[in-house]
Structure formats: structure tokens, C-alpha cells
Amino acid sequence: MQFKKLADLFSKLESTSKRLEMIDILSNFFLDIKTTNDFSDLDKIIYLLQGQLVSNIKQFPKLGLAEKMIIEALSLHSGINGKEIKNILLKEGDIGATAELILSKKKKQKSLFDFDKDMEASESSLEISELYSALQKIAKTEGSGSQDIKLGILRSLMRKCSPIETKYLLRIITSTLRVGVSTLTIIDGLAQGFIGDKKARDFIEKAYNQHPDLGDVTLILAKKGIEEVKKIKISYGTPVRNMLASRVSYSEIIDKLGKPCVAEYKLDGERLQIHKMGEKILLFSRRLLEISEQYPDVCQVIRDKIKAKRVILEGEVVAMDHFYEKMLPFQVLSRRRRKYDIEDISKEIPVSIFLFDILMIGDESYIDRIYPERRKKLEEIVEQKDEIRLVDSKQINSTEEMLDFFNEARNAGTEGIIIKSIKNDSFYQAGNRGFLWIKLKGLEGGKLADTVDVVLVGAFYGRGRRKGWYGTYIGAVYDPLNDKFEAFTRIASGWTDEIMETLKSEVKKYEVEKKPSDVICDDKPDQWLIPEIVIEIFGDEITVSDKFSSLGYSMRFPVFQRIRPEKGPKDVTTVEEIKSLYETQ
Ligand code: ATP
């Protein structure tokens, strides 16, 4: 397919913020594709709509294109000097919009005077597949002379693009493509466009939750139909989307889950989804990225101590002291996040994996089994030792028993507990934050009994001792329906100088001149940030306030707790959760 068609689609989608209109635009687009019966680039189109080059569970190799080079390419292409481009970029705040502006002006001038051959060429089309092979080439080019080769490829791409295509091309290569459609909206568009029935969306979503590659799911839908989509199931080598826990006031937990239920320690480590395929072990992170190399010790103990040839498990990996007696906080574990000297750091910081779920064994999916059955199977196949254990769990019959267990868990150095349903519908709900799992992290302090994760969208310079550094950040929560980040609170305390310094260099990569289009915020920070860095905060209470955005809620006395590198911007606390936190505090 021509890239031009996709650029037109992006442009149409960007012109509205209404979800129903977006669904209509998407469904017409998919209906067109269905009629042409050409699905060759369909998976890529889906990823680009999601603002990525590949699916969530894969990573496209790094392109290694610095802003300087992109400006140089644009300068050579347009004949406008680099300095001028930089000035426009400062005003526009986005390289895509800058390119579109410059090139459309240029085009108008040219068509007034001489219709240049070059511009005629720019009307010739770039194919999506061609764009991908060019980007692959750019990523692969290394060593001496590579900069010139990359520049050459970039220029030849630009030559084939109209101004509007260049806008999206540059957003793609700078990872700032955000069309503003959420994955749920794309799924609605697929159901309406390919099947002509809104209800089909549930089957597509279920398939996506078990196989989080929407490009793959879409190809099956387009080529084979909805019946084949219904057959998409959990499989080895592809991570399933995580089941997550909700929050409610502690006095309501037992009512919500029914008696009896079970409570487990909520460990302060990193979630791992473990795929054991004989000797081959794959570990997936909370963001569903493969991180097996980071934990060779966990891979080995899974090989040795799990009595099943093929199995998919979930657990929390926790840093331990050298006697494997005391659990150490997440900050210690986060030191294991590195690419080099993994053996050394594994010895320095030993870990235990605490298993809490099983999703598949042999060829049998366990996702639709109730929790007691899953736990029983887990107990049967784990040979426990220091490095591998089952998470502590207890049957609970009353709020008092739950609170006792909570205190025990906190004394053992955990974050709190997760209380889980054991009723007849206690299935593993992939990709869902429902009420079958409820977390309880705190009772003391202010009214609020839990932390909130926010993504940084803006920063203010500090005063006095912190002059020259950012002293305050604006944290936003996520609205998955509209795919927007809503400013929630200013965070000015809890930072150590060390954290401030780390953050300052981290956020540098995401500084932009203008408010990003997917951020809703009425505050006026000194610096806007592309939503990427996630932090955890704690506060006194959620209050009603429309100070920062249309959200209507904010937090009193927010305090920074920690950076959360294992979470992406869309994994932060949602608008819905903030509302329920407010109602239950
Ligand atoms: P948090 O910010 O609290 O870590 P989260 O967004 O990652 O939350 P939640 O659903 O709120 O996810 O809480 C579940 C998380 O708690 C899991 O992702 C997992 O990492 C961790 N965890 C620790 N112990 C358990 C357990 N026994 N059962 C399930 N999850 C557990």
C-alpha cells in the first residue's frame, strides 16, 4: 500500500478527538482494504496506528538518527538552511509539523513560478514496505561512513514523500508518532470494518489479550475471518497480557470477593512471565518484553526445579540477602537491570523467584481454570528451594484475618497483600484489571491506602539549592478510551539530589517545546515532556480539583517514591482508578 494513503488516514484521525468518529474513519479504511483483498502491509499499518514500528512485544532495532542529521536531511531536501529550520522547530515543537510547514510553503512557491521536476518527483509514491526496508537498512548501517549512508537513505525517502507524508515519516523515525487512537478504538474499527458487527470486538480483544500482537490478530481476521480469531489462544514464546489487581477500601474487600478467599504476599520485586519449553526458557517483563538474559540464575532454577517439560508460569523475582532469608526492596533488584557483567551482578545480588500462577502446561491452557485449580497444579510441579518458592498464601474468612495477614506480610518486608477470589469464575483474566484480584498496600498515614503511578509530562525549574535543575514535575494519569494523558498533580517533594540528577538526564531525551498532543494539562510548566518516564507517588488523599486539567481530581501532598522503569506510559494509574480511589478513600 502507498504510504500516502496511511498519511491521509493519520491526518483524518488527528482532526477529531471523538472516539465514535475515529471508529467510523477506521472502519471505512479497513472496509476499503477488505474490498481490495490486499493485506500485504496490514500488520504494519496496525503497528503504526499504535504509534510503533512493530508489535508491543517486539522491539525495532535502533535507527541511530540524531536530530542533527534529520535537520540536515530536511535542509538539503528543502533548500532552507539548518539554522532557520531549527528556529521553526523551536516554535513548532515537533519535527514533523516543521517539515510539513516548510515543504508546503516551498511547494506553493514552486507551483507559482516554475513547476520543478523535483517536486513532480515528490508526488511519486512511497510504498509502506519500501519504507520498512529503508528503516531496516538505516538500523543495520554501522561504522565509518555510516552517517553519510543513513543521510542518503533518509533523503531518498523524503524525495518520494509529499509534505504531509514527510510529516509522518519524520514522526515515525523520531518515535513521536501519536495519532491519538487507542488500541481499543482500533479494535472497534476492525470489528466494524471487517465484520460489520460491533459485537465482534470482544472476540478480537480476547484474542489480543492472549496474543498481544494486534498485527498478527488483524491478519488472521482479514484472511481467515472471525471464527479463526476466536481460536487464537495462549502459546509458548508469546507473552500473555497481564492480569492486574484493583483497589477498594479494605473494609469492602471481603464483601467484594466473597468468603472464603485467599490472600498472598504482594512482593516488592519484578513480575516475570516464564515460558519453559524444554531446556529453552524465556522470561517476559511487566511490559511483555523478553528479558531472559537479565536473569540467567532464574532460567537455570526453572530448568532444574520445575517438574514439567513445557509450562507457562508467573511469579515475582525478588532480591535476597546472601542467606536467602531476607527479602530486599525493589531498589536493590533494579541494580540487576544492565546489559553487561550479568554474572558478577547475579552473584552480588542473589534473587528468588516466588511463583503465583500457572497459565499453561503441556498443550493445556489453564487460563480458563479457577484459581484453586491453578494453585494446586503449581504446588504439584514446583520443587521448592531457596531460589524458587511459591508465594505465601492463606485462606481468609474475615476482614480481621485479612488484616492480621496484612501485618504479617508487611513485617516480612513486602508491599502488602493481594487478595484473590477462589469462586467459580476466578479465571485468569488476561489484560484485565478486574475485581478478582484486589491489592492492599497500606492502611496507615493519610487517607489514601495506595500509591499511584504517574507519567511525567512537564517540569519546573527549582529555586535556591536546586537552581538549574528541575525541582517540580507534573505527573499525569492515563485515559485508555481516549488515549490521552491527563495532568493529575505537581510533585515537589520526596526527591533526593541523586534521583533529581538521574531524572534530569533521563528526561532530557523527552523534552519538547510544545505540549504534546496526547497530553491534557492546563498548567504551564517551564518544560514540556513527551510522556515516557513513569514514577510512583504517595499522597495524603485524592481531592476534587480541576486545577490541572479536565480530570477533576488531584492529590494532596504528593511525595515521590521511586522511578518505575518496568512500566510504560500506558501502564500508569488510569482515570477510572483515580475515581475509584477517590470514592473508596
Ligand atoms: P504495582 O504498581 O502495585 O506494582 P501493577 O500495576 O504492576 O502494580 P497491580 O495489578 O496493581 O499491578 O499489582 C499486581 C502486581 O503485583 C503484579 O504486576 C506483580 O508484579 C506484583 N505481585 C507481587 N506479588 C504478587 C502476587 N502474589 N500475585 C500477583 N501479583 C503479585
**Among 70, 73, 133, which residue's Cα sits nearest to residue 141?**
133
* Ligand 1 centroid, distance to 428 Cα (angstroms): 14
Angle between helix 128-140 and helix 3-14 axes, rounded to 10 deg: 100
- In this structure, which residue's CA is closest to atom 24 in ligand 1? 266
Helix (H, G, I), strand (E, B), or coil: what is residue 347? helix
**Stretch (H or E) spanning 317:** strand 310-319
The whole model's pTM is what?
0.85
Superfamily of domain 67-173: DNA ligase, ATP-dependent, N-terminal domain (1.10.3260.10)
By alpha-carbon position, which residue is closest to atom 28 of ligand 1? 356
**Going by CA atoms, what residue is nearest to atom 13 of ligand 1?**
245
Probe residue for ligand 1, chosen from 247, 266, 573 as the CB with the greatest number of ligand atoms within 8 Å: 266
CATH tag for 452-583 (out of 2.70.150.10, 2.40.50.140, 3.30.460.80, 3.40.50.720)? 2.40.50.140
Q: Does residue 456 sit in helix, strand or coil? A: strand
> For the segment 36-61, what is each residue's pLDDT rounded down to a tens digit?
999 999 999 999 999 999 998 998 99
Would you say 80 and 102 are in contact if contact means Cβ atoms under 8 Å apart?
yes
CATH 1.10.3260.10 assigned to domain 3-51+180-229? The reply is yes
The reported pLDDT for the residue numbered 120 is 45
pLDDT number for residue 115: 45
CA distance 59 to 139: 12
Ligand 1 nearest atom to the CA of residue 433, by list position? 10
Torsion angle (degrees, nearest 10) of CA 473, 478, 483, 484 = -40
Which cell numbers hold the place of 137? 537498512
C-alpha closest to that of 474 among 371, 540, 547: 547
Candidate of 262, 439, 576 to mutate for ligand 1, largest count of ligand atoms within 8 Å of Cβ: 439
Which pLDDT score, from 0 to 100, does residue 124 have?
64
Spacing, Cα 417 to ligand 1 middle (Å): 9
- Residue among 242, 265, 271 whose CB has most ligand 1 atoms within 8 A, to mutate: 271
CA-proximal residue: ligand 1, atom 25 (nearest): 266
Ordered per-residue pLDDT tens for the chain, 585 residues: 999 999 999 999 999 989 999 999 999 999 999 999 999 999 999 999 999 999 989 989 999 888 889 999 999 999 999 999 999 988 888 899 999 999 988 776 765 554 445 444 455 689 999 999 999 999 999 888 899 999 999 999 999 999 999 999 999 999 888 888 999 999 999 999 999 999 999 999 999 999 999 999 999 999 999 999 999 999 999 999 999 999 887 888 999 999 999 999 999 999 999 999 999 999 999 999 999 999 999 999 999 999 999 999 999 999 999 999 999 999 899 999 888 889 899 999 999 999 999 999 999 999 999 999 999 999 999 999 999 999 999 999 998 899 889 989 988 889 899 999 999 999 999 999 889 999 998 765 445 667 899 999 999 998 776 777 898 999 999 999 888 999 999 998 888 888 888 888 889 889 988 899 899 999 999 999 999 999 999 888 899 988 888 899 999 888 898 999 889 999 999 999 999 888 877
How many Cα atoms are found within 13 Å in the side-chain-facing hemisphere of 181? 34
Task: Give me the pLDDT at residue 185, please.
Answer: 96
Domains 244-440 and 452-583 share a fold: no
Distance 303 CA to ligand 1 centre (A): 24
Q: What residue ranges line ligand 1, CB within 6 angstroms?
A: 242, 244-245, 264-267, 271, 286, 316, 356, 391, 418, 439, 453
Distance from the alpha carbon of residue 244 to the mean position of ligand 1, in angstroms:
7
H helical segments located in 235-274: 253-257
Question: Which residues are CB-neighbours of 514 under 8 A, at least 6 positions away?
Answer: 92, 93, 94, 528
If we measure between CA atoms, which residue out of 481, 295, 320 comes closest to residue 389?
320
Residue indicated by cell numbers 531496516: 136
Residue nearest to atom 20 of ligand 1 (CA): 271
| Nine cell digits for residue 538 | 504517595
Give residue limits of the domains in the chain. Answer: 3-51+180-229, 67-173, 244-440, 452-583
CATH architecture label of 244-440:
2-Layer Sandwich (3.30)
Q: Which residue, by CA, sits nearest to atom 16 of ligand 1?
A: 266
User: Contact at 8 Å (CB) between 546 and 212?
Assistant: no
Q: Which residues are catalytic?
A: 266
Ligand 1 atom closest to residue 573's alpha carbon, by position in its atom list: 6
**Which H or E run includes 475?**
strand 470-479
- CA distance to 179, 323, 532, 537, per residue, from 478 (Å): 16, 41, 12, 15
What is the whole-number distance in angstroms between the Cα of residue 451 and the centre of ligand 1?
12
Ligand 1 atom with minimal separation from the 571 CA: 6
Distance, CA 79 to ligand 1 centroid (Å)?
54
